[in-house]
Amino acid sequence: MRVAVLADIHGNLPALEAVLRDVEEVGVDAVVLAGDLADGPMPVQTLDVLERLGERAIWVRGNTDRCLADAFDGAFVASGLAANAPPEYFAWCAGRIQQAHRDRLASLPLTVTLDIDRLGPVAFFHGTARDDNEFILVDSPISQYRAAFAAAPEPTVVIGHTHMPFDRLADRRRVINPGSVGLPYGHGGAAWALLGPEVTLRRSSYDARSAADILRAAANDLPGIEYFTDNVTSSASDAEALPVFAEAAEQQARQRIAAQERSG
Protein backbone atom coordinates (compact mmCIF):
# COMPACT_ATOMS: atom_id res chain seq x y z
CA MET A 1 0.00 0.00 0.00
CA ARG A 2 1.13 3.53 -0.85
CA VAL A 3 -0.56 6.37 1.01
CA ALA A 4 -0.72 10.17 0.83
CA VAL A 5 -1.27 11.90 4.17
CA LEU A 6 -2.99 15.29 4.26
CA ALA A 7 -3.40 17.07 7.59
CA ASP A 8 -4.51 20.51 8.75
CA ILE A 9 -6.16 21.67 5.55
CA HIS A 10 -8.20 24.23 7.51
CA GLY A 11 -10.56 25.10 4.70
CA ASN A 12 -7.82 26.32 2.37
CA LEU A 13 -9.29 25.01 -0.87
CA PRO A 14 -6.60 26.32 -3.27
CA ALA A 15 -3.89 24.58 -1.24
CA LEU A 16 -5.90 21.36 -1.13
CA GLU A 17 -6.43 21.40 -4.88
CA ALA A 18 -2.67 21.85 -5.43
CA VAL A 19 -1.88 18.87 -3.22
CA LEU A 20 -4.50 16.66 -4.84
CA ARG A 21 -3.03 17.40 -8.28
CA ASP A 22 0.35 16.18 -7.04
CA VAL A 23 -1.22 13.18 -5.32
CA GLU A 24 -2.86 12.14 -8.58
CA GLU A 25 0.44 12.52 -10.41
CA VAL A 26 2.41 10.24 -8.08
CA GLY A 27 -0.43 7.70 -7.69
CA VAL A 28 -1.56 6.30 -4.33
CA ASP A 29 -3.84 3.59 -3.03
CA ALA A 30 -5.36 5.74 -0.31
CA VAL A 31 -5.46 9.30 1.01
CA VAL A 32 -5.42 9.62 4.78
CA LEU A 33 -7.07 12.83 5.96
CA ALA A 34 -5.38 13.36 9.31
CA GLY A 35 -7.70 15.90 10.88
CA ASP A 36 -8.45 19.63 11.07
CA LEU A 37 -9.92 19.54 7.62
CA ALA A 38 -12.65 22.11 7.09
CA ASP A 39 -12.58 24.97 9.59
CA GLY A 40 -11.27 28.04 7.84
CA PRO A 41 -12.28 30.27 4.95
CA MET A 42 -13.91 27.64 2.69
CA PRO A 43 -15.33 24.87 4.89
CA VAL A 44 -18.16 23.64 2.67
CA GLN A 45 -16.15 23.64 -0.55
CA THR A 46 -13.30 21.81 1.17
CA LEU A 47 -15.52 19.09 2.61
CA ASP A 48 -17.28 18.61 -0.72
CA VAL A 49 -13.95 18.09 -2.52
CA LEU A 50 -12.83 15.60 0.14
CA GLU A 51 -16.10 13.69 -0.14
CA ARG A 52 -15.48 13.30 -3.87
CA LEU A 53 -12.36 11.27 -3.08
CA GLY A 54 -14.79 8.47 -2.23
CA GLU A 55 -13.50 5.21 -0.78
CA ARG A 56 -9.86 6.18 -1.34
CA ALA A 57 -10.19 8.70 1.50
CA ILE A 58 -9.60 7.49 5.06
CA TRP A 59 -10.73 10.10 7.56
CA VAL A 60 -9.27 10.75 11.04
CA ARG A 61 -10.69 13.16 13.59
CA GLY A 62 -8.87 16.37 14.43
CA ASN A 63 -9.68 18.63 17.34
CA THR A 64 -11.18 21.29 15.09
CA ASP A 65 -13.35 18.71 13.31
CA ARG A 66 -14.81 17.86 16.72
CA CYS A 67 -15.11 21.55 17.63
CA LEU A 68 -16.86 22.36 14.35
CA ALA A 69 -19.46 19.64 14.92
CA ASP A 70 -19.94 20.84 18.50
CA ALA A 71 -20.36 24.44 17.34
CA PHE A 72 -22.98 23.30 14.81
CA ASP A 73 -24.84 21.66 17.73
CA GLY A 74 -24.47 24.74 19.93
CA ALA A 75 -22.34 22.71 22.35
CA PHE A 76 -18.85 24.15 21.72
CA VAL A 77 -16.66 24.56 24.81
CA ALA A 78 -13.40 26.49 24.44
CA SER A 79 -10.22 24.70 25.46
CA GLY A 80 -8.77 27.69 27.27
CA LEU A 81 -5.53 27.36 25.32
CA ALA A 82 -4.24 30.42 23.46
CA ALA A 83 -3.02 28.13 20.67
CA ASN A 84 -6.60 27.09 19.84
CA ALA A 85 -9.05 29.21 17.85
CA PRO A 86 -11.74 31.21 19.71
CA PRO A 87 -15.50 30.44 19.81
CA GLU A 88 -16.45 33.11 17.27
CA TYR A 89 -14.19 31.46 14.69
CA PHE A 90 -15.93 28.11 15.04
CA ALA A 91 -19.34 29.78 15.11
CA TRP A 92 -18.63 31.38 11.72
CA CYS A 93 -17.50 28.07 10.21
CA ALA A 94 -20.39 26.12 11.74
CA GLY A 95 -22.83 28.62 10.27
CA ARG A 96 -21.74 27.63 6.75
CA ILE A 97 -21.85 23.83 6.86
CA GLN A 98 -24.91 21.60 6.50
CA GLN A 99 -26.20 18.70 8.60
CA ALA A 100 -24.48 16.13 6.38
CA HIS A 101 -21.13 17.89 6.85
CA ARG A 102 -21.66 17.99 10.61
CA ASP A 103 -22.56 14.30 10.70
CA ARG A 104 -19.44 13.34 8.76
CA LEU A 105 -17.20 15.31 11.13
CA ALA A 106 -18.93 14.01 14.26
CA SER A 107 -18.48 10.39 13.15
CA LEU A 108 -14.73 10.47 12.55
CA PRO A 109 -12.49 8.04 14.49
CA LEU A 110 -9.60 9.13 16.70
CA THR A 111 -7.27 6.77 14.85
CA VAL A 112 -6.87 4.32 11.99
CA THR A 113 -4.11 1.79 11.32
CA LEU A 114 -2.88 0.76 7.86
CA ASP A 115 -0.24 -1.70 6.70
CA ILE A 116 2.18 0.30 4.53
CA ASP A 117 4.81 -1.14 2.20
CA ARG A 118 8.13 -1.60 4.08
CA LEU A 119 6.84 0.36 7.08
CA GLY A 120 4.46 -2.28 8.42
CA PRO A 121 1.52 -1.22 10.60
CA VAL A 122 1.24 2.56 10.85
CA ALA A 123 -1.20 4.32 13.18
CA PHE A 124 -2.61 7.70 12.18
CA PHE A 125 -3.71 10.31 14.70
CA HIS A 126 -4.24 14.05 14.62
CA GLY A 127 -2.88 14.95 18.05
CA THR A 128 -1.83 11.82 19.95
CA ALA A 129 -3.26 8.46 20.96
CA ARG A 130 -4.82 9.97 24.08
CA ASP A 131 -5.99 13.41 22.92
CA ASP A 132 -6.83 14.88 19.51
CA ASN A 133 -5.76 18.30 20.85
CA GLU A 134 -2.45 17.33 22.47
CA PHE A 135 0.49 19.44 21.35
CA ILE A 136 3.56 17.30 20.77
CA LEU A 137 6.53 18.79 18.96
CA VAL A 138 9.73 17.69 17.30
CA ASP A 139 11.63 18.68 20.46
CA SER A 140 9.11 17.43 23.03
CA PRO A 141 10.65 15.20 25.74
CA ILE A 142 10.76 11.44 25.30
CA SER A 143 8.63 11.10 28.44
CA GLN A 144 5.76 12.90 26.70
CA TYR A 145 6.09 10.71 23.61
CA ARG A 146 6.00 7.56 25.75
CA ALA A 147 2.88 8.66 27.62
CA ALA A 148 1.11 10.13 24.60
CA PHE A 149 1.40 6.93 22.56
CA ALA A 150 1.31 4.35 25.33
CA ALA A 151 -1.94 2.99 23.91
CA ALA A 152 -0.49 2.60 20.40
CA PRO A 153 1.43 -0.64 19.78
CA GLU A 154 2.43 0.35 16.23
CA PRO A 155 6.15 1.07 15.65
CA THR A 156 5.31 4.04 13.42
CA VAL A 157 2.75 6.76 14.06
CA VAL A 158 1.71 9.71 11.92
CA ILE A 159 0.33 12.86 13.54
CA GLY A 160 -0.60 16.43 12.62
CA HIS A 161 -1.86 19.36 14.68
CA THR A 162 1.27 21.51 14.98
CA HIS A 163 1.58 22.42 11.26
CA MET A 164 5.33 21.75 11.13
CA PRO A 165 6.72 18.70 9.30
CA PHE A 166 9.18 16.34 10.95
CA ASP A 167 10.30 12.72 11.02
CA ARG A 168 11.99 11.53 14.22
CA LEU A 169 12.54 8.58 16.54
CA ALA A 170 11.19 8.64 20.08
CA ASP A 171 12.34 5.62 22.11
CA ARG A 172 12.41 3.36 19.01
CA ARG A 173 9.05 4.57 17.71
CA ARG A 174 9.07 6.52 14.46
CA VAL A 175 6.89 9.64 14.60
CA ILE A 176 6.04 11.49 11.39
CA ASN A 177 4.26 14.81 10.98
CA PRO A 178 3.42 15.68 7.37
CA GLY A 179 2.94 19.37 8.22
CA SER A 180 -0.06 21.43 7.17
CA VAL A 181 -1.73 21.62 3.78
CA GLY A 182 -3.53 24.89 4.41
CA LEU A 183 -1.70 26.78 7.17
CA PRO A 184 1.97 25.74 7.34
CA TYR A 185 4.55 27.21 9.67
CA GLY A 186 8.17 27.67 8.67
CA HIS A 187 7.85 27.30 4.90
CA GLY A 188 5.77 28.16 1.86
CA GLY A 189 3.61 25.84 -0.19
CA ALA A 190 1.27 23.10 1.00
CA ALA A 191 2.82 20.29 3.04
CA TRP A 192 1.89 16.61 2.92
CA ALA A 193 3.57 13.21 3.13
CA LEU A 194 3.93 10.18 0.88
CA LEU A 195 4.28 6.83 2.68
CA GLY A 196 5.37 3.59 1.03
CA PRO A 197 7.86 2.25 0.39
CA GLU A 198 9.77 5.20 1.89
CA VAL A 199 8.62 8.26 3.82
CA THR A 200 8.80 11.48 1.82
CA LEU A 201 7.79 14.86 3.22
CA ARG A 202 6.38 16.76 0.24
CA ARG A 203 5.41 20.35 -0.57
CA SER A 204 3.05 21.37 -3.34
CA SER A 205 3.51 24.84 -4.76
CA TYR A 206 0.61 27.10 -5.71
CA ASP A 207 -0.04 30.77 -6.33
CA ALA A 208 -0.25 32.00 -2.74
CA ARG A 209 -1.30 35.57 -3.54
CA SER A 210 -4.10 34.45 -5.82
CA ALA A 211 -5.16 31.94 -3.18
CA ALA A 212 -5.23 34.64 -0.50
CA ASP A 213 -7.51 36.74 -2.72
CA ILE A 214 -9.85 33.78 -3.19
CA LEU A 215 -9.93 33.05 0.54
CA ARG A 216 -10.61 36.68 1.45
CA ALA A 217 -13.43 36.89 -1.10
CA ALA A 218 -14.99 33.72 0.32
CA ALA A 219 -14.63 34.70 3.97
CA ASN A 220 -14.06 38.43 4.38
CA ASP A 221 -15.90 38.39 7.74
CA LEU A 222 -14.28 35.25 9.16
CA PRO A 223 -12.66 36.19 12.51
CA GLY A 224 -8.91 36.05 11.92
CA ILE A 225 -9.10 36.03 8.13
CA GLU A 226 -6.23 38.50 7.77
CA TYR A 227 -3.96 36.37 9.94
CA PHE A 228 -4.93 33.35 7.84
CA THR A 229 -4.28 34.96 4.47
CA ASP A 230 -1.09 36.63 5.68
CA ASN A 231 0.19 33.19 6.65
CA VAL A 232 -0.73 31.84 3.21
CA THR A 233 1.33 34.53 1.48
CA SER A 234 4.16 34.60 4.03
CA SER A 235 4.25 31.68 6.43
CA ALA A 236 4.92 32.33 10.12
CA SER A 237 8.31 31.08 11.21
CA ASP A 238 8.62 27.79 13.04
CA ALA A 239 10.73 29.75 15.53
CA GLU A 240 7.61 31.79 16.32
CA ALA A 241 5.22 28.84 16.40
CA LEU A 242 7.26 26.47 18.55
CA PRO A 243 7.18 28.56 21.76
CA VAL A 244 3.40 29.08 21.45
CA PHE A 245 2.74 25.37 21.09
CA ALA A 246 5.30 24.50 23.78
CA GLU A 247 3.41 26.72 26.24
CA ALA A 248 0.17 24.97 25.28
CA ALA A 249 1.84 21.59 25.85
CA GLU A 250 3.02 22.70 29.30
CA GLN A 251 -0.46 23.94 30.18
CA GLN A 252 -1.94 20.61 29.10
CA ALA A 253 0.62 18.74 31.22
CA ARG A 254 -0.43 20.78 34.26
CA GLN A 255 -4.08 20.03 33.52
CA ARG A 256 -3.39 16.28 33.34
CA ILE A 257 -1.54 16.34 36.65
CA ALA A 258 -4.39 18.27 38.30
CA ALA A 259 -6.95 15.83 36.88
CA GLN A 260 -4.98 12.87 38.23
CA GLU A 261 -4.77 14.48 41.66
CA ARG A 262 -8.52 15.11 41.69
CA SER A 263 -9.22 11.50 40.79
CA GLY A 264 -7.16 10.33 43.72
Around Cβ 189, how many Cβ atoms within 10 Å?
A: 18
Q: In terms of residue numbers, what domain contains 214?
A: 3-262
| Amino acid present at 156 | T
pTM higher than 0.95 for the full model? Answer: yes
**Which pLDDT score, from 0 to 100, does residue 263 have?**
83
Which one-letter DSSP state was computed for residue 85? Answer: P
What is the predicted pLDDT for the residue at 116?
Answer: 95
Number of domains in the chain: 1
Question: pLDDT by residue for the chain (264 residues), tens digit each?
Answer: 899 999 999 999 999 999 999 999 999 999 999 999 999 999 999 999 999 999 999 999 999 999 999 999 999 999 999 999 999 999 999 999 999 999 999 999 999 999 998 999 999 999 999 999 999 999 999 999 999 999 999 999 999 999 999 999 999 999 999 999 999 999 999 999 999 999 999 999 999 999 999 999 999 999 999 999 999 999 999 999 999 999 999 999 999 999 888 887
Q: What pLDDT score does 174 carry?
A: 98
DSSP string, 141-178: -HHHHHHHTTT---SEEE--SSS--EEEEETTEEEEE-
DSSP conformational letter for 250 = H
Amino acid at 108: L
Separation CA 238–CA 225 (nearest Å)? 20
**Bridge partners for 4 per DSSP:** 31, 194
**Rounded to a whole number, what is the distance in angstroms from the first to the last CA of the chain?**
45
pLDDT of residue 37: 98
Query: Which residues face 200 on adjacent strands?
Result: 194
Under DSSP, is residue 31 helix (H, G, I), strand (E, B) or coil?
strand
Q: Give every CB contact of residue 250 below 8 A, 6+ residues apart in sequence.
A: none
| CATH number for the domain that contains residue 120 | 3.60.21.10
C-alpha distance from residue 86 to each of 64, 82, 128 (Å): 11, 8, 22
Dihedral sign of CA atoms 95, 99, 103, 105 in order: negative
